[in-house]
Chains A and B, each alone.
Chain A
């Protein structure tokens, strides 16, 4: 097989992989939709305890949001570098993305442990069960993304930007952008809406 034919076949295979992964992401959207619906139904059921307005700090969550948004941007730059086969930049941008993601996760866990230690755990009310499930599921996705990113960085570091690693980095990019989009809605519906008196 000539190199040219092989190249076009590879591009087509990559496109198929990207589409398959996109379909997975769409089903993940449905998962998050059901968790959002659960939260929307239960968010007033505080069982006499404090609600979203009293529990969450908007400034804290704004910083989290900006961290994740910036990580989505640097992840995009990392994928662009991967397409140019620029190994140094790929590793640098993914390292930045990883650290921003880790900072986001750290802040989220800090928020969770603060809530639990003040007696507002997921067992306290329907509202808190729904909150921890929705935000925790997003956090779990972020953890999985960070694990994936760490493994990819080791792979690129040791084996260079071979064809498969570029494809995987593009899929990882899709995943990371998707998580940022889900977070926009968590920020809006859980935190911003929670602060509004309706």
Chain B
């Protein structure tokens, strides 16, 4: 059967999306550039502290979008966009898991900024007399 006949086109409504050599090359080039940019920012100390951290996390998120579009072809999905919907739901769960864990743990982390020895005495104190801490 001729692969270019009309039949696959009818079925293509449900066919998996795919890229071209060009889209892969563009995605690859952008990913390399973003990776090297993030590395250079840290290596050359262009920014510092939280500004630098925010910048490299931003670059990672841009690269996530680049790879989703150029390697996983999320942009050319036909409706209903189930892959995108599942991804957004996964991201929601992911944010709840990560941000929730960080929030709870930063509240519970009594032992922050203690040396191992201090932690030990602290735990011993806490086991004998339960004191409410602020």
CA–CA, A178 and B60, complex, Å: 14
Given A29-B90, A41-B102, A177-B71: A11 and B15 within 8 A (CB)?
Answer: yes
CA–CA, A121 and B20, complex, Å: 44
For A193, give its contact among B31, B56, B67, B109 (CB under 8 Å).
B56
For A11, give its contact among B8, B35, B71, B94 (CB under 8 Å).
B8
Cross-chain contact A36 with B98 (CB below 8 angstroms):
yes
The residues of B that contact A29 with a CB separation of less than 8 Å are: 90, 94
Interface centre among A40, A73, A80 (most CB of B within 10 A): A73
Q: Contact residue range for chain A? A: 35 or more
Q: Is A69 positioned at the interface, with any CB of B under 8 Å from its CB?
A: yes
CA–CA, A36 and B97, complex, Å: 10
Cross-chain contact A196 with B49 (CB below 8 angstroms):
yes
Cross-chain contact B98 with A187 (CB below 8 angstroms):
no
Cross-chain contact B90 with A8 (CB below 8 angstroms):
no
Given A192-B38, A195-B42, A196-B49: A30 and B90 within 8 A (CB)?
Answer: yes
For B42, give its contact among A4, A38, A192 (CB under 8 Å).
A192
Interface centre among B14, B93, B116 (most CB of A within 10 A): B14
Cross-chain contact B98 with A4 (CB below 8 angstroms):
no
A–B Cβ pairs within 8 angstroms, 24 of them:
A4-B5, A7-B11, A11-B15, A18-B16, A22-B86, A27-B90, A29-B90, A37-B97, A38-B101, A41-B102, A48-B115, A58-B43, A69-B32, A73-B27, A76-B27, A80-B19, A80-B24, A177-B67, A177-B72, A184-B64, A192-B56, A193-B56, A196-B48, A198-B50
The residues of B that contact A184 with a CB separation of less than 8 Å are: 35, 60, 63-64, 67
CA–CA, A80 and B70, complex, Å: 13
For B14, give its contact among A3, A11, A23, A197 (CB under 8 Å).
A11
Cross-chain contact B82 with A8 (CB below 8 angstroms):
no
CA–CA, A40 and B89, complex, Å: 22
The residues of B that contact A72 with a CB separation of less than 8 Å are: 28, 31, 67, 71
CA–CA, A116 and B38, complex, Å: 28
Cross-chain contact A76 with B71 (CB below 8 angstroms):
yes
With both beta carbons as reference points, the residue of chain B lying nearest to A8 in the complex is identified as B11
CA–CA, A26 and B87, complex, Å: 6
With both beta carbons as reference points, the residue of chain A lying nearest to B86 in the complex is identified as A26
